[in-house]
Structure 1
Amino acid sequence: MGKKKGGNKNKLAKMSEEERARYLQHRADMEEEARRRKQQLIATFMKNKLKREDAFARLNLAKINQEWRTILRNIKCKELKEEVQAVEKTCTECIENKNAVIKRLLCDLDESEDLYSTMLHAHMERVEKIIRKGSAGTEHQRRPATSS
């Protein structure tokens, strides 16, 4: 069996006042040193724990930011897709309108060409008729002069 702690009282009783004071001071210093080491150990532990928590917080913040950016990117893609579809629809309508104008202008051009052709033909006929009348009139004027 081990010794019992009751021997400390005997030990203190056998010491002189000066030795007892030194012993108690030494014991108080040892307890103070143990308390200081314990506080230092706790402080170191808390610093390490705080560093780990800070690292996890930064990591989690990075993950959250990445997810948030992904969400915002998806929303922006959807908005851009809708905007592109609206622009495409507007452009398609514009192209259809321009094609309709082009068709109408081509029809007008065809009609104008037909009208021009008709008018030119009529003009040419009149010019020929005038020329024929003029030729016939000059021949008629020449004939009486030649027959006399």
Structure 2
Amino acid sequence: MSDNTRTHLLIGRISAIVLFILAVAYGIGGSQIEYAFASDPLGPRVMPVALAVLLGILVLIYLRFPGSAEDFPTGSSLVRILAIPLTLIVSVALFEPLGFVASIFLLTAVTGWLFGATIKLSVIGAVVHAAVWWFIFSFLLEVYLPTGAVFG
């Protein structure tokens, strides 16, 4: 077995372990959902727990038979891969102080830029994206969206 094949198997198994940890955490989080029993016989716990169990089973199969995997990303690819979840975390953290529109704008603009769009196109796309979702939630679905502490 070549070193390259061993590396790919190791990458596949590390990915499987990380996904298994996420499946367990998702299952635990789903099982903690509280609800009124009279509302639904199954309740809202069933779907997240079932998905966690399914993911866990599939991950265990993948752990046993990892198949081939891509090389571990390096350079700018690694930076982009790490920047996407970081951008999501920052956007969620700013949701309360800045509100829905500003946080979705930030998430969309940075994601567009990370995927190669120019800053101008990223900003235009983010403005359109935020406006469309604000219109859908506010007017069509009549869902309250927070404006944020900064904006009132």
Fold conserved (TM > 0.5)?
Answer: no
Task: State the structure with bigger RCO (CA 8 A, min sep 6), 1 or 2.
Answer: 2
> What's the TM-score, normalizing by structure 2?
0.23
> What's the TM-score, normalizing by structure 1?
0.24
